[in-house]
Chain A
Amino acid sequence: MIPIELVLGFAALLFCTGLYGMMTTNKALVALMCVELMLNSANINFIAFAAYDVFADATIGNIFVLMSIAIAAAEVAVGLALILNVYKIKGTSSTDDLTTMRW
């Protein structure tokens, strides 16, 4: 079995990739995908701790991941709907142009 450090390192890498992408992109869809990446890296952490029996009750980790995935799906649905509507109103989905909601 591969050591848990590798799994956690992979999850951290995935999180940083999503973070980097979100901080640099100007495309709303890409930002949404990066959020998904970060969420999934967190899920991997749950799974890893559950699989390696770090805590007494492994089932909580598994159940939590299922719930997280479900919420992520709902979140993506809301996010996509928002982006779609913004695109319909403004004719763009670039976050560089969507700067009026300030002050």
Chain B
Amino acid sequence: MFMEYAWLIPILPIACFVIVGLFGKKLHEGGGFVAIAGAAIACIFSVLVAYDFITNGVDGIFGAPFVTEMKWLVFPGSDFVINFGVYIDGLTCIMLIFSSFISTMIFVYSIGYMGDQGEKKPRYYGEVSLFLTGMLGLIVSSNFLQMFIFWEIMGLCSYLLIGFWSFDHPEAKQKSSAAKKAFLVTRAGDVCLMAGLFIVLYLFGSLDYANIFNAVAIEAIAATNPELLTVAGLLIFGGVIGKSAQFPLHDWLPDAMAGPTTVSALIHAATMVKAGVYLTARAMPLYVFNSVNGEAVLLFIGIIGGFTAIYAASMALNNFNIKKVLAYSTLSQLGYMILALGAGGFLMAHGYNTGEEHLVALGVLGYMAGIFHMLNHAFFKGLLFLCSGAVIHATGTEDMKQMGGLFSKLKVTAVTMLLGSLSIAGFPLLSGFWSKDLVLEAALHAGTHGMTGFTVLFVMGMITAFMTAFYMFRMWFMTFVGDYRGTEHVHHESKIMSAPLVVLSIFAVISGFVIFIGFGNLIADMLQESMGFFWIEIESGMDIAISIFTNIWTYVSIVLALSGIGIAYLMYMKKSVDPAKFNKNGESAYYKLLTKRYYFPELYDQISWKLGYGIARIVDAFDRNVIDGTVNGLSGAVIGGGDVVSQMETGHVRDYATFVIAGVVVLILVFAFIFIGGI
């Protein structure tokens, strides 16, 4: 009963965008409260839609997708139609709720955080509303083209918001170049995605999810055209690499910290990077039912995810910018999600191809772990970013060397950030613990039951867990304990900024318990009914918990996380271990490599300078010489020819008479030749 109106969910924020864009200057707080209202109503609506979907099912079938579409583009003479519609299943419900909820919290927080922005406020609230539209629209889309449109709206908004301070700001140049980098790097992925969609359109003759995610159709194509199906899957994953900032297109995300902290929170927790993970989860049938190459593609996805996890975590180890630490942490956690989806998908595909049903069940568990981790990460990373924003707001700097001892002044921030850090580090029973262990378990199962490559990724994930605990607590200790090292006066925290922190911290602590209330079944039903998987059974939440606590590796990861926290404690609180011993006072080669971000920005610059600028110069030369040359040559010929011909105009009457007569004579000769000579 609510699902029929799900199309209203993306309409609400875009209405706010229009209202704030047009009348923002006259509204209170630059239209901030309108944006909050839009996001909040969208959130309430999402909950109602999810409630309706979960309790009533569609036509009495639980998990079956609710699809309502209208024809958007009809091509006369062919039966090919592009639709515009709404597609609701379990994944949609989960994404809708957490995206709109966290956005609401971030918008509330923005009232305090962006309070000093004056005239820029309407622009800010308009753009974040549009950003939310992009995400919510992408989630409810019923086909790939519609999804791609919203995907690009988000790309545009990320560009606008990362470059929010491109004007009238001391570091405007660096800010605008960060925005351009984010836009162009994600563009590389978007081009891949678009190419992938063209191939999908060619193979399936449709872009509707309802037609594509059909095991029979995919298997038929896998039998006749496996290469193209594989290429399409890889290209779609290319879009994910760009959007979710996976290696090697990860480098825009740390630079994207140039935007306001609230924007970072929005990008990292609620929107943008989550879209990539969502797309991987959504397109999973394309990989799983590709019986020829699906397992290899899923291994590739797992490798990208696992490598990004450890690679990004390493760069967070020695960074002194509080926001960049969190940015690398996001990269690393996104790597976990992609790893879980890759491993889970691999197990599903392997089990499906070999007919071992218990492997499929394990795969579903891994797939669920990826989405589960995305949900938990949304809460704790949104919380952590907002906390870091509160710290930055209070101290006026992002440099952790200028912080310290803030616990007494920013009590709410310190406690909530501690909860967020414990959660992301995987402290037992907090949300990050459940999902992280499920992710690692999925990698381990994929390693033992199928491809040994996943075992390596499992070990990398374990090391990442240790590094995560270390860098998060390094950040926390450097910020909140010891003596204040900055010079600026520390402002007090305001209620409007603290309230969202408290709310989010509650969710960061408890969101892991959703597996006990049927989260797994929601995902399993969705896979079974929406995506055409054969009958699957998932363990109940209690069984999952039992399996987590009876697994030796869980205790290993807890020990690793605690030892990471302990080392951070010794180094940065008790100061009994000097970090300088390990990095030779910042002189060791690896330390430098990390501060240089593995020379990746340099690589990007070199590529864009050498290759991009070289191509640009060739194109420029072609434009100037060939295209301009043709046009200029033509006009020159006309002008020159006119000059020559105009010399015939002597002004003498008798010359004109001569020309007339000559013309007549020529005509007569021609006609004589034609008529008389012809006969």
* Residues on A facing B (Cβ under 8 Å): 19, 22-26, 28, 31, 95-96, 98-103
Q: How far is B88's CA from A88's CA once the two chains are assembled, in angstroms?
A: 95
Q: How far is B665's CA from A19's CA once the two chains are assembled, in angstroms?
A: 13
Q: Is the CB of A96 within 8 A of B646?
A: no
How many of B's residues come within 8 Å of A, CB to CB? 10
Q: Is the CB of B658 within 8 A of A23?
A: yes
Q: Is the CB of B650 within 8 A of A102?
A: yes
Contacts of A23 in B (CB 8 A): 654, 657-658, 661
Residue from A22, A24, A31, A102 in contact with B649 in the complex, judged by beta carbons closer than 8 Å: A102
Secondary structure type dominating chain A contacts: loop
Closest 6 A-B residue pairs measured CB to CB?
Answer: A99-B651, A102-B651, A102-B649, A95-B653, A23-B658, A23-B654
Which among A25, A26, A95, A98 has the highest number of chain B CB atoms within 10 Å?
A: A95
* Min CB gap A6→B, angstroms: 23
Contacts of A31 in B (CB 8 A): 653-654
Q: Is the CB of B661 within 8 A of A96?
A: no
Which among B646, B649, B653 has the highest number of chain A CB atoms within 10 Å?
A: B653
Tell me, yes or no, whether B71 is within 8 Å of chain A by CB: no
Tell me, yes or no, whether B169 is within 8 Å of chain A by CB: no
Q: How far is B650's CA from A14's CA once the two chains are assembled, in angstroms?
A: 28
Q: How far is B236's CA from A4's CA once the two chains are assembled, in angstroms?
A: 94
Q: Is the CB of B654 within 8 A of A103?
A: no
Q: In chain B, residues 235-282, which have Cβ atoms closer than 8 Å to a Cβ of chain A? A: none
Q: In chain B, residues 628-679, which have Cβ atoms closer than 8 Å to a Cβ of chain A? A: 646, 649-654, 657-658, 661
Contact pattern, B 382-395, Cβ under 8 Å of A = 1, otherwise 0: 00000000000000
* Min CB gap B56→A, angstroms: 86
Q: Is the CB of A100 within 8 A of B653?
A: no
* Min CB gap B317→A, angstroms: 81
Closest partner residue, chain B, to A24 (CB atom):
B654
Contacts of B653 in A (CB 8 A): 28, 31, 95, 98
Contacts of A19 in B (CB 8 A): 661
Q: Is the CB of B649 within 8 A of A95?
A: no
Residue from B649, B652, B657, B658 in contact with A96 in the complex, judged by beta carbons closer than 8 Å: B652
16 contacts between A and B (CB under 8 A): A22-B654, A23-B661, A24-B654, A26-B654, A31-B653, A31-B654, A95-B653, A95-B654, A98-B653, A99-B650, A99-B651, A99-B652, A100-B651, A102-B649, A103-B646, A103-B649
Contacts of A25 in B (CB 8 A): 654
Closest partner residue, chain A, to B656 (CB atom):
A102
Contacts of A28 in B (CB 8 A): 653
Q: How far is B642's CA from A103's CA once the two chains are assembled, in angstroms?
A: 11
Contacts of A98 in B (CB 8 A): 651, 653
* Min CB gap A34→B, angstroms: 9
Q: How far is B368's CA from A19's CA once the two chains are assembled, in angstroms?
A: 103
Contacts of A102 in B (CB 8 A): 649-651
Q: How far is B657's CA from A1's CA once the two chains are assembled, in angstroms?
A: 37
Contacts of A95 in B (CB 8 A): 652-654
Closest partner residue, chain A, to B646 (CB atom):
A103
Closest partner residue, chain A, to B662 (CB atom):
A23
> With contacts A95-B654, A98-B651 known, what are 17 further pairs, Cβ within 8 A?
A22-B654, A22-B657, A23-B654, A23-B658, A26-B654, A28-B653, A31-B653, A95-B652, A96-B652, A98-B653, A99-B650, A99-B651, A99-B652, A102-B649, A102-B650, A102-B651, A103-B649
Q: How far is B649's CA from A103's CA once the two chains are assembled, in angstroms?
A: 7
Contacts of A26 in B (CB 8 A): 654
Q: How far is B443's CA from A62's CA once the two chains are assembled, in angstroms?
A: 115
* Min CB gap B648→A, angstroms: 10
* Min CB gap B666→A, angstroms: 15
Contacts of B650 in A (CB 8 A): 99, 102
* Min CB gap B649→A, angstroms: 5
Which among B646, B650, B652 has the highest number of chain A CB atoms within 10 Å?
A: B652
Contacts of B661 in A (CB 8 A): 19, 23
Contacts of A24 in B (CB 8 A): 654
* Min CB gap A54→B, angstroms: 20
Contacts of B646 in A (CB 8 A): 103
Q: How far is B657's CA from A26's CA once the two chains are assembled, in angstroms?
A: 12
Q: How far is B44's CA from A103's CA once the two chains are assembled, in angstroms?
A: 78
Closest partner residue, chain A, to B653 (CB atom):
A95
Q: How far is B650's CA from A59's CA once the two chains are assembled, in angstroms?
A: 44
* Min CB gap B650→A, angstroms: 7
* Min CB gap A85→B, angstroms: 16
* Min CB gap B655→A, angstroms: 9
* Min CB gap B643→A, angstroms: 11
Q: How far is B652's CA from A24's CA once the two chains are assembled, in angstroms?
A: 11
Q: How far is B650's CA from A28's CA once the two chains are assembled, in angstroms?
A: 16
Q: How far is B649's CA from A86's CA once the two chains are assembled, in angstroms?
A: 20
Contacts of B658 in A (CB 8 A): 23
* Min CB gap B472→A, angstroms: 84
Which among A24, A31, A99 has the highest number of chain B CB atoms within 10 Å?
A: A99
Q: How far is B657's CA from A67's CA once the two chains are assembled, in angstroms?
A: 25
Q: How far is B653's CA from A14's CA once the two chains are assembled, in angstroms?
A: 21
* Min CB gap A94→B, angstroms: 10
Closest partner residue, chain B, to A19 (CB atom):
B661
* Min CB gap A88→B, angstroms: 19
Q: How far is B646's CA from A25's CA once the two chains are assembled, in angstroms?
A: 23
Q: How far is B542's CA from A93's CA once the two chains are assembled, in angstroms?
A: 119
Closest partner residue, chain A, to B648 (CB atom):
A102
Q: How far is B657's CA from A28's CA once the two chains are assembled, in angstroms?
A: 13
* Min CB gap B88→A, angstroms: 76
Q: How far is B652's CA from A55's CA once the two chains are assembled, in angstroms?
A: 41
* Min CB gap B165→A, angstroms: 61
Which among B649, B650, B657 has the highest number of chain A CB atoms within 10 Å?
A: B657
Contacts of A22 in B (CB 8 A): 654, 657
Q: How far is B651's CA from A98's CA once the two chains are assembled, in angstroms?
A: 7
Contacts of B657 in A (CB 8 A): 22-23
Q: How far is B649's CA from A22's CA once the two chains are assembled, in angstroms?
A: 18
Contacts of A99 in B (CB 8 A): 650-652
Q: How far is B661's CA from A98's CA once the two chains are assembled, in angstroms?
A: 21
Closest partner residue, chain B, to A100 (CB atom):
B651
* Min CB gap A20→B, angstroms: 10
Contacts of A103 in B (CB 8 A): 646, 649
* Min CB gap A101→B, angstroms: 7
